[in-house]
Amino acid sequence: MSEKKNQELRRAGLKITAPRLKILHILENTAAGHMSAEDIYKTLLSEGDDVGLATVYRVLSQFETAGLVVRHGFDENHAVYELETGDHHDHLVCQDCRKIIEFVDESIEVRQAEIARKHDFKMTSHCLYIYGICGSCQTDLPA
Amino acid sequence: MSEKKNQELRRAGLKITAPRLKILHILENTAAGHMSAEDIYKTLLSEGDDVGLATVYRVLSQFETAGLVVRHGFDENHAVYELETGDHHDHLVCQDCRKIIEFVDESIEVRQAEIARKHDFKMTSHCLYIYGICGSCQTDLPA
DNA sequence: GTCCGTGCAAAGGATTTGCATAATC
DNA sequence: GATTATGCAAATCCTTTGCACGGAC
């Protein structure tokens, strides 16, 4: 059943272990889409799994190196991770509820490449974060 | 002579003190344009000034609150600051020499506003980092 | 003189690392 | 059975905070 996950790990050159499978599973099933190491650790604990926080960090780091997950620094104080799905996208971040919405805008992508070229930069990656207040939080705000 | 700096501090509601004037001076005269607290601390020490690192952090934090400087998180591990000049701009970051180039692209700005609106977000700020290798570092790279 | 600012050292939070044990292949 | 993973605790890095003293107004 989780044969797919086993393959993903093997492909990444990592042994199949319980912590790795569980973390992969959590990342695949999170509603939030983006989780911090601490979030994942708490989820594991709440599911009765005995995994150390250090292991969570180690596994996430290995996953990142293997290209299974992408790490983001929306928040200065802690990193969040999401599964690498192959499609690049940028993020809208609600500063109130921390909700994250992904989007892709081709014209921005094109302009970025032009800007890098104009400045003689060989672009390796880029990230665009738009911070704001999402619709539901605007509604919830005190009048 | 540094009467201009005195005014900036007063306007920010901060008393005129040696550490504040010195840090303002360093930020105004840095070639790099963007410095970390540690960078500023080391610069102070190298100039023979006896200022504590904690003070550097405190002053930068006050300056940020006062709108005198802007803080950036290019690097996950430490914040960098630059003087607030009033004009918004985004950044190209060389991953090799850490050089930072500022740029503004009106069409990207416009698209961002549209995207926020489309998702019913009230945009408060945004940041776009393009990471890559700058021209001179490309040349310096081993063949 | 009062209040704010500073230096130092200690505290804090996120992340990493050392080491002995335990699991995978 | 050899090698890689894990858990725990200690260590690190950047940044913040508590406190007593010194300086700005």
Closest by CA position to B17, among listed B70, B48, B63: B63
pLDDT tens readout for residues A28-65: 999 888 999 999 999 999 999 999 999 999 999 999 99
pLDDT tens readout for residues B89-125: 999 999 888 899 999 999 999 999 999 999 999 999 9
Task: From first to last of the 143 residues of chain A, give the pLDDT tens digit.
Answer: 578 889 999 999 999 999 999 999 999 999 888 999 999 999 999 999 999 999 999 999 999 999 999 999 998 899 999 999 988 999 999 988 889 999 999 999 999 999 999 999 999 999 999 999 999 999 876 65
pLDDT tens readout for residues B33-48: 899 999 999 999 999 9
Q: What is the predicted pLDDT for the residue at A44?
A: 97
CA of A78 to C1' of C12 (A): 14
The answer to whether the C-beta of B59 is closer than 7 A to strand C is yes
CB pair distance less than 8 Å for A121 and B103: no
Q: For residue A86, give the 3-state DSSP assignment.
A: coil
CB pair distance less than 8 Å for A132 and B122: yes
DSSP-assigned states of every residue in B60-113? HHHHHHHTSEEEEEEETTEEEEEE--S---EEEEETTT--EEEE--HHHHHHHH
- Single-letter amino acid code for the residue at A23: I
The answer to whether the C-beta of A3 is closer than 7 A to strand D is no
The beta-carbon neighbor of A134 closest among B120, B126, B131 is B120
Minimum distance, in Å, between the CA of residue B133 and any CA atom of chain A: 5
- List all residues 6 or more positions away from B138 whose beta carbon is below 8 Å from its beta carbon: A120, A122
CB pair distance less than 8 Å for A121 and B76: no
CA of B32 to C1' of C4 (A): 32
Q: What residue is closest to D25 (Cα–C1')? A: B15
CA distance readout (Å), B138 to B95, B96, B99? 11, 9, 13
H-state helical runs in A37-134: 37-46, 53-66, 106-118
The answer to whether the C-beta of B7 is closer than 7 A to strand D is no
